[in-house]
Amino acid sequence: MEKKKIKKIRVDLLMAVVLIGIVVAGALFVPKIKGMINDNGERQHKESKEETEWVYTAKSMSDGVTKSLVAQDGNAIDDAKKAVADCSLDMFKVLIRNEDDKNNSGKNSNIVFSPLSAMMAMALVANGAQNETLKQIEDAFGIEIGKMNDFACNYMKSNEQMNPLEIGNSLWFNNSIADSVSQKFIQTNKDFYNTDIYNAPFDESTRLDINNWVAKKTHGLFDEILKEGDINKSLYLFAINTVFFESEWMDKFDKDDVEEYRFYNEDYTESRIDFLCGTDYDYIEDDNACGFSKEYKDGRFAFVALLPDENVSVEEYIESLDGEKIKSLVDGRKYIETDIRIPKFKFEDEYVLDDVFKEMGIKDILDQEKADISEFKNGFMNNIVQDVYINVKEERTTAAAVTSERVVTCNLSEDKPEKKKVYLNRPFVYMIYDNEYDIPVFIGTVRNM
């Protein structure tokens, strides 16, 4: 997966896409993401919003569905923020442990993950679940599905005017079952997730429709999430979530801010790499780490970096984190002049998340004998995959996550402080953090360069 070039100096944190497929039988697919690639091998991004409107073959099932006004409890939203933050850290911890166990060379993998996308994807399907299947999802989330829906609605609405973060949702039903889908399910997903809902023949035209919907929502970054052969009439449903973030740094780096230094890898080797060097004034520390919060242009989102002490491993430090601690660290940042160095890095990976959800207690929806999804009789979820990419450099940060889920049927300080230094020249934790909602949109580690 390679990326794009942008003329303006900015930070592009691009998209998490969740895709859920329901199949009757046959092999499952894992979509390999393809997009527009430029001459430098970087994923191309459409600067212009003027583009040819795609004419969908699929028929809209939501044209006659009016999005209802949703009354929301402010206290409930605050509770949901904490639950989402906690669940995000829980998923990330399990993911790190699982990936380390799979890595033959030890605990050396770099990670980037979008827990927000994974939760929203699961929530879309949870609106059709019931009984123990639903209870397990709610227990893992830490909130009832109704409150998760409230949070999602509130969160999406909060981003409507600002536009650094864009979230899209769509449901694509096989026309063989579209008539049996309940109006309540459609209305709920329309009201809370502003979901585009389609009735499609699930042939080549549907594949093209889905690819073009995703391309539009991601501004052309990904234009072929489904390849030929990835869709057929045995599938029941695709549920897709996209998250797209794009913003300039509050204080930009330029070419003169790039210097070469050593990075001390977790595998005890050293790498000579380019660092982004500058000064920041939001210093973070606790008993086992120091760091900083470097804001993007609007001030709502920030790149938060946490550097564990030399005697504390990244894995140990992550295990000590939860949503409340992250909030406390970010809220407690001090106005101290801080020399910072951020390594320029680019990597990608793909994670199968079935075991992550199972270890969090979401088991029945992944079991063909136990899954209870009222909208999709005899259905169960299988092969949950997230493809991710991140590229941090002086002009911008570009990050992307594509999460696919399939449901299968078998039938500030007062005294002038001392100047600080935070050089991210050894393994560290980072996140793209929403300061208003106190949640990580993306979270990751850099352990080897």
Instruction: Decide if 443 contacts 351 (C-beta within 8 A).
Output: no
Output the CATH code of domain 11-248+346-409: 3.30.497.10
Q: Which residue in the block uniquely carries the two structure tokens 């393809």?
A: 34
Q: Which pLDDT band, with edges at 50, 70 and 90, does 28 fall under?
A: very low
Instruction: Tell me if domain 11-248+346-409 and domain 255-344+414-446 are identical in fold.
Output: no
pLDDT of residue 22: 43
Residue 95 has which token pair? 């993911």
Average pLDDT of the residues in 196-204 = 90
Contacts of 328 (CB under 8 A, 6+ apart): none
Every domain of the chain and the residues it spans: 11-248+346-409, 255-344+414-446
Mean per-residue pLDDT of the chain: 79
Q: What is the pLDDT of residue 257?
A: 93
pLDDT for 213 = 87
Mean pLDDT of 294-318: 92
State residue 400's pLDDT score: 60
* Topology given in CATH for the domain delimited by 255-344+414-446: Alpha-1-antitrypsin; domain 1 (2.30.39)
Percent of the chain with pLDDT strictly greater than 90: 38
Give the residue among 333, 351, 436, 408 at the shortest CA–CA distance from 77.
Answer: 436
Residue 180: which pLDDT band, with cuts at 50, 70 and 90? Answer: confident
pLDDT band at 233 (very low <50, low <70, confident <90, very high): confident
116, 119, 121, 126: CA torsion to nearest 10: -160
Instruction: For residue 343, give both structure tokens.
Output: 């390594």
Residue 286 has pLDDT above 90, yes or no: yes
Around Cβ 149, how many Cβ atoms within 10 Å? 23
Distance CA 264, CA 85 (A): 30
DSSP state of 71: -
Residue type, 230: D
pLDDT band, very low/low/confident/very high, at 91 (cuts 50, 70, 90) = very high
For residue 66, what is the DSSP state?
Answer: P
Q: Find out whether 18 and 241 touch, Cβ atoms under 8 Å.
A: yes
Residue 131, phi then psi, degrees to nearest 5: 55, -140
pLDDT at 104 over 50: yes
| Residue 108 DSSP code | -
Alpha helices for 159-268 (secondary structure H): 183-193, 204-217
Q: What pLDDT sits at residue 350?
A: 75
Q: Tell me: the pLDDT tens digits for 15-25?
A: 445 455 444 33
Maximum Cα–Cα distance for the chain, whole Å?
69
Opening angle at CA 135, ends 132 and 137, nearest 5: 115
> Which ranges of 218-321 would DSSP assign to H, the alpha helix?
314-319
**pLDDT at res. 70:** 59
- pLDDT of residue 4 exceeding 70: no
Count CB-CB contacts under 10 A for residue 396.
25
Please state, as a whole number, how many other Cβ atoms lie within 10 Å of the Cβ of residue 54.
13
By mean pLDDT, which of 57-61, 305-309, 334-338 is the weakest? 57-61
Instruction: Quickly state the pLDDT bin for 435 (edges 50, 70, 90).
Output: very high
Distances (CA, A) of 85 to 65, 140, 365: 32, 12, 23
